[in-house]
Structure 1
Amino acid sequence: MKKIEAIIRKPRFDKVKRALHEAGVNFFSYWDINAVENEKDIIKKLYLSVLVNDDFEDVTIKAILESGFTGKLGDGRIFISTIDEIYKIRTKENGVKTLR
C-alpha cells in the first residue's frame, strides 16, 4: 500500500479531484496550507493525502501530475511512502480491503 501526498496549486483542486475520481480514487483527504517561496512570498496551496493499493500508485501519480500541471514555477510536489499496515476502526479489518 502507498501513501501519496501532494502539494498543489489551490486553483487546480477541481481538476485534480476530477482526475483522481476518473482514475478510480474515490477517497482522499486535503488541507489548506500556506507555502513560503522566495523567503517572503506566501502562496495558498492544498496538501492532499491519498492511500491506495500498489496497483493504483501509477495511475494516481499520473492523475495528479497531469491535472496539477500549469508549467509555471510553484506547481507543487508529490511524495510517495510505503504503508506497512492499515486498520479500519469501525470493522477492525486490516490490510488492503480497508481501502474499499
Structure 2
Amino acid sequence: MKKIDATIRSSKFDDVKEALHRIDIDYFTFFEVKGVGKEKTPGGFYRGAYYDMGSIPRLMLEIVVPAEKVDAVVDCILRAARTGEVGDGKIFIYDVEQTVRIRTGELDEAAL
C-alpha cells in the first residue's frame, strides 16, 4: 500500500475530488495548510494590520491506496489540479506498512 500526500490549490479542490471519485477513490482526508514556496511575495499592511503574503494557503490531501492504483491517482491529481502557474503544488508518495480499521480490526487493503 502507498500513501499519497498532495498539496493543491484550494480553488482546485472540487475538480480533484470529482476526478478522484471518477476513478473510484471515494475516501481520503484533507485539511487546510500553509506553506512557503520559491516565489517571493512581500507582506503588506491592510487597515493598520500587517499580513504575511508569503504564506500560501493550500489544501493537503492524504490518500492511501493499493500500490497498483498509485499511477492512476497521481495522474488524476495532476490533470485536475494543474493550472500551469507557479504554486500548483506537490505530490509525495510513501510506503504504508500496515493499515487497521478501528471498528472491525480488519487489516491492510481490507481496512481501506
Question: What is the percent sequence identity of the aligned residues?
Answer: 36
CA distance in 2, matches of 1:96, 1:54: 10
Question: How big is the shift at 1:64?
Answer: 0.5
Structure 2 unmatched runs, 5+: 43-53
Query: 1:16: which partner in 2?
Result: 16
Question: How big is the shift at 1:39?
Answer: 7.1
Q: Tell me how many residue pairs correspond in the alignment.
A: 99
- Secondary structure of residue in 2 paired with 1:97: helix
CA distance in 2, matches of 1:68, 1:86: 27
Q: Which structure's CA Rg is the greater one?
A: 2
4+ residue runs over 3 A deviation: none
CA distance in 2, matches of 1:56, 1:25: 9
The CA RMSD over aligned residues, in Å, is 1.2
After TM superposition, the score normalised by the length of structure 1 is 0.93
Query: 1:35: which partner in 2?
Result: 35
Match for 1:75: what amino acid?
D
- Secondary structure of residue in 1 paired with 2:17: helix
